[in-house]
Amino acid sequence: MAKLKNNNETETVNSFRFNLVGLICFSLFLIAGSALVSCRLFEPKPKEYLFAQSDGLDPDASDKSKSTHTGPWGELLTQSIKLERPTEYISREVQDPEPESWKFTGLNLAQLKALLAANGLTPEQIAAQVTPNRLTGQGNTLVFQPDEAFLLALKPETRQQLYGALYGRNVETYMDYPFIFPADSIETIYADNRLQPDDVAMLKQLVYPATNAVRLTDYNLLLRKIPTAPRRAMMAKVLSLQPAMLARICVGPNSDIDKIASYWGHMNNVRFTDMRPMLEALKGLPEGGTVSLMYFLPPFARARLYTYPLPAQPGDPEMDCHWSTFNFSNIEPDNRYNNPEYTVNYIQKNFYRIDGPSLYGDVILFANDHNEIKHSAVFLADDLAFTKYGNNYRQPWMIVRIADMQTMYPSLKPMFYRKKTN
């Protein structure tokens, strides 16, 4: 490069002087530079950042498992999940499944036959099954061991009628706590490629219809008809799938932390003061963020959520729905809630009935036509509740949708209660 003077020599200008090789290189440089500028000018702009994306849970129209709900609780981001029992909790029970044993307390032989006849069994079936070699007496209890071939031959409508009539009588564990599959979820189970076709065919033979769902009561029979322990274990895992919900509180730059505190902070043993710094920090981020609903649960519920209890040992409490509901905000569990009489008296003394749940901590009770409470749960927010199905170790503690809980107990009516203030 040389500095040249123009004719009047009053100013200087910069100029380039090239040989042939230099000219070629310079031309290539200009072409590359133009291409780079064009890319910068015409490349798509970055997508606007949504604060709910901060943990990968941005709800979009194509993902039906995720949604957001705004209310006095703030903004909830929810996602549907399915929980599956750990293999370690299954291996033992599938090794040698026991034959069916039905216990009828307070019935004599004639009453037992009348009960079976009134609920779907023919006189021929009763005569062939209710025989001395299949009956034993234990005090005021008759123990009946049905034949395997008889159970396999039952039609779905007969299972529906018979097992529905025996539900709640403490006849057998799976009579009172059958597997209940919403109509869409059973198809998912049938299509699970971890199951063998023969095992799926046996499952289809043993399930029977219920309101908006199908049920399985002959669980042990199903396991016995599966030839190997690994296949039985896989069937048990797949059948254990439980629909549940993940939930997070969304905090954006414009979120009202005091409003969130007024909803979630009144629960016993929930110290909102400890959570406020984290929420304020999220609010201070340019796009905000989300925090798990677990942080807003008292220690009892937080420690158990999405986990399975260990198999009960002698003297252990029955960790059923009522024990879980009324210990929700306790530091130490109160095992008196295993006593139905105590629990009913506690509800009558400390709660009053409301038309529908709207406050964190409201209680949802499911009762039969005789006003006997068969299930309970704690209302959290929107349509979410904390609960555990049944009193056995096969069921986890979960956050569920109230509508899904109703599907589990289609014949029961929900009632709603709120704790009295002092």
Please list the rounded mean pLDDT of every run of 10 residues in the chain (422 residues). Answer: 35 39 47 43 34 41 75 95 87 87 95 96 96 92 95 96 92 90 85 97 96 90 95 94 93 95 93 92 94 96 93 85 96 94 95 96 94 94 95 89 88 94 70
Own/partner long-range contacts of 147-150 (Cβ < 8 Å, ≥24 apart) = 148/99, 148/221, 148/224, 150/125
pLDDT at residue number 63: 61
Residue whose C-alpha is closest to residue 102's, from 59, 60, 71, 146: 146
Give the single-character DSSP code of 50: P
d(CA 81, CA 93): 25
**Alpha-helix runs per DSSP H in 327-401:** 340-350
Give me the residue spans of the domains in the chain.
2-42, 87-240, 246-419
The rounded distance, in Å, linking the Cα atoms of 249 and 292 is 6
Taking Cα atoms as reference points, which of 348, 417, 420, 413 lies closest to residue 375? 413
H runs (alpha helix) in 93-240:
109-117, 123-129, 148-153, 156-166, 173-176, 183-190, 197-206, 219-224, 229-239
- Strands of 66-71's sheet in order across: 66-71, 74-83, 242-251, 289-292
pLDDT score recorded for residue 42: 38
Contact 221, 230 (CB under 8 A): no
Q: Which phi and psi (to 5°) does residue 401 adopt?
A: -80, 140
- Residue 5: predicted pLDDT: 35
**The tokens of 92 are what?**
């033992």
pLDDT of residue 410: 79
Residues, the chain? 422
User: How many angstroms separate the CA atoms of 222 and 290, rounded?
Assistant: 44
Q: Tell me the sheet residues that pair with 344.
A: none
pLDDT value at residue 86: 85
CA distance linking residue 280 with residue 288, whole number of Å: 10
3-state secondary structure at position 78: strand
State residue 138's pLDDT score.
84
* C-alpha separations of 270 from 177, 329, 338 in Å: 33, 8, 25
**Residues 144, 105 contacting (CB under 8 angstroms):** no
Structure tokens at 186: 């059973």
Task: Report the phi/psi class of residue 184: left, alpha or beta, with left for phi > 0 and alpha for psi in -120 to 50.
Answer: alpha
Q: What are phi and psi of 68, to 5 degrees?
A: -120, 145
Residue 412 CA to residue 417 CA, distance in Å, equals 16
Phi, psi at residue 86, to the nearest 5°? -65, 145
Q: Which pLDDT score, from 0 to 100, does residue 64 have?
A: 64
Question: How confident is the model at residue 24, as a pLDDT?
Answer: 46
- Judge whether 237 and 82 are in contact, CB under 8 Å: no
Nearest to 74 by CA among 307, 203, 303, 249: 249
| H or E element at residue 62 | none
